[in-house]
Structure 1
Amino acid sequence: MEYSQPNERLKDKSKCANFRAQLKMCLLQTDCCKVHKITPRECLLSKHESVPEQCYILKNTFFECKRSIIDARRRFRGPKQ
């Protein structure tokens, strides 16, 4: 993730904060949010044509990260290889 200021950091220090921030920035740069003034969540759910595949990949990555936090088996076994 690129920040505009040097030494700029995320305020949220949770495990998946970086994925969430990347997804948010990806969605905010689409025409769906810029031109049509639709919320990022609605853009993802409606599968708007201006949302690139990269945003859907980030959404899945963020989901997997959040799931890994609550999945007890994965906490002990580690991620699938």
Structure 2
Amino acid sequence: MPKYFEDKEESKRPCAGVREDLKACLLASACVRIDKKTPKECLQKGENVDNHCRALQVSFFECKRSLLDTRTRFRGRKGY
């Protein structure tokens, strides 16, 4: 479950909420805790990573991609 709320004033960076959730999910995954790998290695190899973490990774990618899309300058980011 997402634990971060976008309305928090501390974070001025775009996609910060999804980033925090992805980081927390990866640090709690079996790949990091049991296999003692870095979160980056876990995402690259895809071993012992939950489907929830994979979904957060896709969401984070889509959020970052929407920042580069020139149409979002006029329409705003998706889902906000």
- Please tell me whether Structure 1 or Structure 2 has the larger radius of gyration of its CA atoms: 1
Contact 1:28 1:34 in 2 (8 A): yes
| 2:74 counterpart of 1:76 | yes
Residue identity matched to 2:22 = L
The answer to whether the 8 A contact 1:68-1:75 is kept is: no
What is the CA RMSD across the aligned residues, in angstroms? 2.3
Indicate the percent of aligned positions where both proteins have the same amino acid: 44
How many angstroms does 1:76 deviate by?
2.0
Matching residue of 2:25: 26
3-state SS of paired residue (1:45):
helix
Report the TM-score when normalising by structure 1. 0.76
Name the CA distance, whole Å, in 2 between partners of 1:22 and 1:10: 17
Aligned residues: 73
Q: CA deviation at 1:41?
A: 1.1
Unaligned runs of 5+ in 1: 3-8
Match of 1:66 among 51, 64, 67: 64
5+ residue gaps, structure 2, are none
